[in-house]
Every structure is written in structure tokens, then in C-alpha cells.
Structure 1
Amino acid sequence: MEKLWGGRFEKNTDSLMEDFNSSIGFDKKLYHFDIIGSKAHATMLAKSGIISDKECKEIVDALMEIECEIESGKVEFSTKNEDIHMNIEVLLTNKIGETGKKLHTARSRNDQ
């Protein structure tokens, strides 16, 4: 998968840099809290009319599935996705496609 910020580079990131830049080894413990925040954010987007109620339900349901998959040991986090936020976002978009990308609307990584 292409990195969200990788479009301006011609070559792939060296794996040494990915390992150095990645915080997933530490912040993977925060998955539950990241998912809680993401479900709340999706709900706000729906209540604000930015996404539909159907899209909100699809996002929230997928996040709950992802949390169950993490808790049951079915998820292997990747240093290529840097942190818990990006790992969950990739899992979400892999699961539900374009709708998953809408979760990032009106939200910066600093907000997370």
C-alpha cells in the first residue's frame, strides 16, 4: 500500500527509516482508545451531515470488528504504517474501502 504522505517521493522508504520512524511498537497498546475516539468522530461526522448515517454505521461496525480482531490476536501491526492511528486506518480502509477514508475528514493526526 502506498503511504498517505508518500506521493511526493519517487522511491520506497528504506526499511531502516521505517523502523526508526515507527512508534507502533509502543503505541499499539492504545488501540482501544484510538478506536473509541474514531467511533466518536464518525458519530460527529454523521450528526454534522458530513457523512451519512449508513456510512457512520459501516465505519463504527468495522471498527468494532477490528477491535475484536486485535484482541483475538488476528492483527499484525506494521511499522510501514508508523503508528496505531495509521495501522487502524489501513485496516479500516482494507475492510470497507473508500468509506473508511472518510473517517479522516475534519481530523488531523494531532487531534488523535
Structure 2
Amino acid sequence: MSTILIADDDPLMIRLLEFNLKRIKCKLIVCREGLGAEQLLKTERPDMAIIDVMLPGKSGLELIQFVRSEPKLASMPLIVVTGHGETQVHEELLAAGANRVFTKPFAPSLLQSAVQELLDQHA
């Protein structure tokens, strides 16, 4: 069973992600702020992370940069969710190392497909 870290401060988004990811039989770790998410990435070493861009403590962009700079985490698939739909924001997140970027609101089925695809590629 794959382990996924969800780093998001929105309780409704967390519930949506939990509901949809449990359907594909994933163990979930949830953190509502960036510094705690960084610590969990170090200690738990999940198989994937889904990160909101706007987090208290440390931004999603900073978390992407952290993951990509850590040798033991660098290949971890990262999905970023954001309320910013601008192409420039998406390009910046992808250039920083995100594997996929989803603009809120998004179709849960698309997220499920992306999670499954990235986990299969990373296995």
C-alpha cells in the first residue's frame, strides 16, 4: 500500500482528497502547515506528496524545492494543488519540480488517475 502525504490547510480539501484517495487504497498522512509537512517528509518518507501552494509556515513551492534537493526524496512524485489558474504559476511549479499541477476546483477522477499513474511510474 502506498503512503501519500497531504499538505493542505483547508479542511474541506483534505476531506475531498481523503475520500478520493482511499478509493485507490492509499495510506494517508495529513499535515495542515508547511514546516510540519517538511518534517513528515523527512521522517515518514511517503511514496508521494500532494501539496497546496499556500500553506502557513512554508509554502508549497518551498516544499517542492526541499524535496528535490534531498537525495532520499528527490524522485518522489509531487502533485501540487493551487487556487491560481494562471499559466505562469503552473509553469513555475512544474519548473521547480512538481510532476502535476491541479487548479482548484478540479475533477477528483483526474486527480485519482494522476496519483495512480505517478505511483505506478515510481514503483
Q: Same fold (TM over 0.5)?
A: no
| TM-score (norm: length of structure 2) | 0.27
Q: Which has the larger radius of gyration?
A: 1
The structure whose RCO (Cα within 8 Å, separation 6+) is larger is 1
Instruction: Report which of the two has the higher share of strand.
Output: 2
| TM-score (norm: length of structure 1) | 0.28
Instruction: Report which of the two has the higher share of helix.
Output: 1
